[in-house]
């Protein structure tokens, strides 16, 4: 798991001006380890660097992994520039994912901001594929502009299965959806709080306000899960770059139950 395995890019799909989704398969043709949505791989662009990227595809596809990444620096720019047939290194899967088994029978509220929709996509696909396994589902997704929303085709498909509320920070008068912050929608929407689990992923400031909005609606700390982001390097809890309070985000997270991290979640400089 600590030596990168060589993968080949099978498909490259641009999502927005700075975000692409890569579907990759092992170049040796050997079976892949399974993963839980919310876990991540370390993707290695030869000569450019290695970055942690969450799984954004379905675990049920045994021969491939799918990752959505945004161009942020040298390594992600190199990965985003890969074309079908190009190779990359992969270590993983790493970390702790979303509590998929715990979602069964519950009302699932998914709150995503920006690129935070990517690690939640496999959860949403599971909710849409087997709605009978859940008491209900809602998606609240906030983005910068309508053109920067991810997976627009899937958003439309999910909206046929469950409530999907979209919000953008900026738009022109042609946008018929909501303009404002996602917490505003959370505050005014009908939100079940009984037998409910909330899954939250987005920029940390957005998650802080989202947690407060969910608490105000009566959701227990133990019913809120967050995917945290820190400076992950080794992905196995050795290097210490991603230490956060008593945890290593790469090993103990990136998904945490809010009840477990509440003591330092709002603490500065941790």
Partner 1 sequence: MKSVAQFVREHSLFEGMDAGQVDFIAGCGQLQRSAVGNYLTRENDPADCFYLLLEGRVAIETHRPNQPAVPLLTLNANDVVGWAWLIPPYRYQFDARAVTPLRTVRLDARCIRDKCETDPTLGYELLKRLSAVMLSRLQCARIQLLDLYANPSTGGKVPSR
The footprint of partner 1 (CB under 8 A) covers 17-18, 70-73, 113-115, 142-144, 148, 169-173, 175-181, 183-185, 187-188, 202-203, 205-206, 209
- The structure tokens listed for 8 are 């080949």
Phi-psi region of 237 (alpha: psi -120 to 50; beta: other; left: phi over 0): left
**What is the rounded distance in angstroms from the CA atom of residue 15 to the CA atom of residue 236?**
30
* Order of strands, sheet of 65-70, starting from the edge strand that comes earlier in the sequence: 49-54, 40-45, 87-94, 5-16, 19-26, 65-70
Residue 181 vs 214, nearer CB to partner 1: 181
Residue 36 vs 183, nearer CB to partner 1: 183
Asked if 67 and 22 touch (Cβ cutoff 8 Å), the reply is: yes
CA distances, 190 to each of 107, 151, 185 (Å): 12, 25, 9
Shortest distance (Å) from residue 188 CB to partner 1: 6
Shortest distance (Å) from residue 36 CB to partner 1: 26
Q: At residue 44, what are phi and psi to the nearest 5 degrees?
A: -120, 115
Shortest distance (Å) from residue 144 CB to partner 1: 4
- The structure tokens listed for 256 are 């945490």
**What is the rounded distance in angstroms from the CA atom of residue 92 to the CA atom of residue 42?**
6
Residue 36 vs 56, nearer CB to partner 1: 56
Shortest distance (Å) from residue 15 CB to partner 1: 13
**What is the rounded distance in angstroms from the CA atom of residue 116 to the CA atom of residue 263?**
23
Shortest distance (Å) from residue 169 CB to partner 1: 5
Tokens 């398969």 locate to: 25
Tokens 């047939």 locate to: 85
Residue 149 vs 261, nearer CB to partner 1: 149
Residue 144 vs 154, nearer CB to partner 1: 144
Shortest distance (Å) from residue 262 CB to partner 1: 21
Shortest distance (Å) from residue 53 CB to partner 1: 15
Residue 89 vs 146, nearer CB to partner 1: 146
**What is the rounded distance in angstroms from the CA atom of residue 95 to the CA atom of residue 216?**
30
Residue 2 vs 170, nearer CB to partner 1: 170
């Amino acid at each position: 798991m600590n030596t990168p395995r060589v993968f080949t890019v099978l498909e490259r799909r641009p999502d927005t001006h700075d975000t692409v989704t890569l579907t990759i398969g092992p170049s040796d043709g050997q079976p892949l380890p399974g993963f839980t949505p919310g876990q991540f791989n370390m993707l290695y662009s030869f000569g450019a660097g290695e970055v942690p990227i969450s799984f954004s595809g379905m675990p049920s596809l045994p021969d491939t992994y799918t990752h959505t990444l945004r161009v942020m620096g040298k390594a992600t720019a190199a990965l985003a520039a890969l074309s079908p047939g190009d190779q990359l290194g992969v270590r993983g899967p790493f970390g702790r994912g979303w509590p998929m088994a715990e979602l069964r029978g519950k009302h699932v509220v998914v709150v995503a901001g920006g690129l935070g929709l990517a690690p939640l996509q496999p959860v949403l696909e599971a909710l849409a594929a087997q709605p009978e396994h859940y008491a209900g589902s809602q998606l609240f997704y906030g983005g910068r502009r309508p053109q920067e929303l991810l997976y627009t085709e899937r958003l439309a498909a999910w909206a046929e299965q469950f409530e999907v509320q979209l919000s953008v920070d900026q738009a022109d008068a042609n946008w018929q959806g909501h303009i404002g912050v996602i917490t505003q929608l959370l505050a005014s929407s009908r939100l079940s709080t009984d037998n409910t689990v909330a899954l939250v992923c987005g920029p940390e400031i957005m998650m802080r306000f989202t947690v407060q909005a969910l608490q105000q609606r009566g959701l227990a700390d133990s019913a809120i899960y967050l995917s945290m982001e820190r400076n992950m390097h080794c992905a196995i809890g050795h290097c210490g770059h991603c230490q956060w309070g008593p945890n290593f985000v790469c090993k103990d997270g990136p998904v945490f139950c809010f009840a477990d991290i509440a003591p330092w979640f709002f603490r500065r400089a941790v």
